[in-house]
Structure 1
Amino acid sequence: MASDETSNVSDVEKVAENKDYNPKLDFFSEQFDPLLALRTPNIVVPVINAKTYDNIYKYKSMVEGKPEQKKKPARPPEEAPIERRWLPHQLPIPSKKKRIDKNVFTRMERVVGPLEFLKKCREKRCRIKVWTRHSHDIRGYCIAYLVAFDKHWNLALEDVEEVWTRPKRRKIPALDGARFDLKFRPKVLPPPIKIVETTNKTETCSRHVGQLLLRGEHVAFIVILPDVKK
């Protein structure tokens, strides 16, 4: 009788164990669910010191017995960087560095082409005659000495004798220096203007200016007058 009772007790324990058994929590079962195992408390891992892998590729290579690739050692910082390999026709073309002129005076010494004419006038101290223009016609001319110029034909002149033509009737009266309001007296008065010739509609004026800056867009053409002083 005793043997029968012990066999019955062992059968009951086996049944109780089978009720608690869950194949999804069995690490060796085909139905094992890793997400459920993570959420279930008191789950004991069969191998506690098992090696972990960063990704599936490393785990697969371990299972299949493939050798793990060794990482290349990092280069020391003292080593020179790798230069890009270029074909001969892709190499940069050597060229001369452009000389940067700092001011107008250094640029005037290195001019070439039509501007050399102005350079000679400045060096030889020749008196030149510059015809000026306005929006639709020739305005007049200036007889002076050239002091400086640039590539835009802007001219710095001195000892200038300016002659130009203007209409008699003007919307804005010209400041000839004859009349000024007592409330407004400029510190520097404009040079006096002389009327050389008059017609029915226009009048030719002239004045002497010590220094004059003439913009290149107003220059029509230039002629050397070596023997003419005015």
Structure 2
Amino acid sequence: MSADHNSDSSTSESEVSACSSSYNPLKALYSDKVKVPVESAPLYENIVQFENAQKKPLEIIPFGKTELVVKREEEKERKRIEEETRLEEKNKQRFAQYGGLVPRKEFKTRNVLTRMGTIDGPLALLSDWVDKRLRVKIVTRKDRGVRGVLHATVVAFDKQWNLALSDVHEIWQKKDKQGKMLPGPGVPVPKGTAATISPVPEVTRTPLGKGVWECTRSIPQLMVRGEHIVLINLLVP
């Protein structure tokens, strides 16, 4: 910009007056002598917004009119609530004649815990043992014959006899013709991150003679599938 544009000494009032025929918009932009013809005139961001305000004065609000914006939003919310109320009342009148014909179904949450309280048959006795926190004896099987015995407290179960156990004491037998001590079933590798998260259960072995060893171990928590269960009865102290 040239220096005369920034100097008010070379600018006359007629050049910065919007109502004058000699109005110079470039000088008016940099001059301090500019006076707004109508100080209460609404302000818009651009010409397009001004043209839209002429067509829709209730939708396009001038800059700085916060109270009008709040009033408009309140009016929209009021109309929305009125419309919802009207539709709700209309639907009530529309379906009033069918109100007593179709019974309403109440859907209840169904999971393992809710089923345990309403179960019938042999599992009802197991549910009673769960409520009373009684110890049970569980005989498990393998592909050929009995695998071992579990002494534990049942925490939860389902209709497939899958059991969630706590404070488990497992007993099983291993036979080795060469007289060696066999590792326990399912013993994880004692190295790595798994051993730091969950310690490896210690297996105690007792010789029974003729190459047979009785193995025992204690497990805090255990999940047993129903297909591996042969018999469950109350553990008599």
- TM-score, normalised by the number of residues in structure 2: 0.47
Report which of the two structures shows the higher radius of gyration computed on alpha carbons: 1
Higher helix fraction: Structure 1 or Structure 2?
A: 2
Structure with higher RCO (Cα < 8 A, 6+ apart): 1
TM-score w.r.t. length of structure 1: 0.49
